[in-house]
Amino acid sequence: MVNRVTTVDESIRKVVERAISSTGYLPNLAARSLVTRRADAIALVLPHENRIIGDPFFTRVVRGVTGILRPIGVHLVLIMTGPDTGDQVLSDLRQGRLDGVILVHTHQTDQLPGELLRSRRPVVLSARPAEPLPITYVDVNQKAGGAMAAEHLVARGCRYVATITGSLDRPPGHDRLTGFRNAMATMGQPDVVTVEGDFTAESGAAAMEQLIQQYPEVDGVFIASDLMAQGALPVLRKHGRSVPDDVAVVGFDDSNAALNCDPPLTTVRQPVEDMAAEMARQLLRQVERSDTPIRAVIFEPVLVVRQSA
Partner DNA sequence: TTGTAGGCGTTATCAG
Partner DNA sequence: CTGATAACGCCTACAA
Nearer to its own copies (CB atom), residue 13 or residue 25? 25
Among 22, 23, 31, 245, binds DNA (CB under 7 A): 31
Short-list 101, 97, 93, CA closest to 123: 101
Q: Collapsing DSSP states into helix, strand and coil, what is residue 222? A: strand
Nearest Cα neighbor of 93 from 105, 85, 81 is: 85
CB of 88 or CB of 210, closer to DNA = 88
DSSP category for residue 309:
-
Out of 14, 19, 20, 27, name the contact with DNA by CB under 7 A.
27
- Give phi and psi for 115, each to the nearest 5: -65, -40
| Residue 197 Cα distances to 28, 194, 211, 266, 280, angstroms | 51, 10, 11, 19, 31
Q: Assess 19 for contact with DNA (CB under 7 A).
A: no
* Of positions 31, 131, 240, 289, contacts its own copies by CB under 8 A: 31
Question: What does 58 interact with, of DNA, its own copies, none (CB < 5 to 8 A by kind)?
Answer: its own copies
Q: Out of 2, 13, 39, 291, name the contact with its own copies by CB under 8 A.
A: 39
**Binding of DNA at residue 35 (CB under 7 A)?**
yes
CA 116, 118, 122, 128 torsion-angle sign: positive
Under DSSP, the state recorded for 71 is G
Does 16 bind its own copies (CB under 8 A)? Our answer is: no
Nearer to its own copies, 73 or 157 (CB): 73
Strands 248-253, 75-80: pairing kind:
unpaired
Residue 9 interacts with which of its own copies, DNA, none, CB < 5 to 8 Å by class? DNA
From the list its own copies, DNA, none, partner contacted by residue 51 (C-beta under 5 to 8 A by kind): its own copies
- Which of 82/157 has CB closer to its own copies? 82
Kindly write out the interface string for residues 246-285 of this chain, putting x where it contacts its own copies by CB under 8 A and - elsewhere.
Answer: ---------xxx-xx-x-----------------------
- Tell whether residue 2 is a contact of DNA (CB under 7 A): yes
Of the candidates 225, 217, 196, the residue with the CA atom closest to the CA atom of residue 208: 196
Binding mask 82-101 for its own copies (x = CB under 8 A): x-----x--xx-xxxx----
CB of 90 to DNA, least distance (A): 16
Could you give the CA distance from residue 152 to residue 305 in angstroms, rounded to a whole number?
9
Q: How far is the CB of 33 from its own copies (least distance, A)?
A: 4
Q: Which segments within the chain are labelled E, that is strand? A: 41-46, 75-80, 100-103, 123-125, 137-140, 161-165, 193-196, 220-223, 248-253, 266-269, 296-299, 302-304
Inter-CA distances, 175 with 62, 170, 181, 270, Å: 25, 9, 10, 14
Sites of contact with DNA (CB under 7 A):
2-3, 6-9, 12, 26-28, 31-32, 34-36
Contacting residues toward its own copies, per CB under 8 A: 24, 26-31, 33-34, 39-41, 44, 48, 50-51, 53-60, 62-63, 66, 70, 73, 75-80, 82, 88, 91-92, 94-97, 201, 230-231, 234, 237, 255-257, 259-260, 262
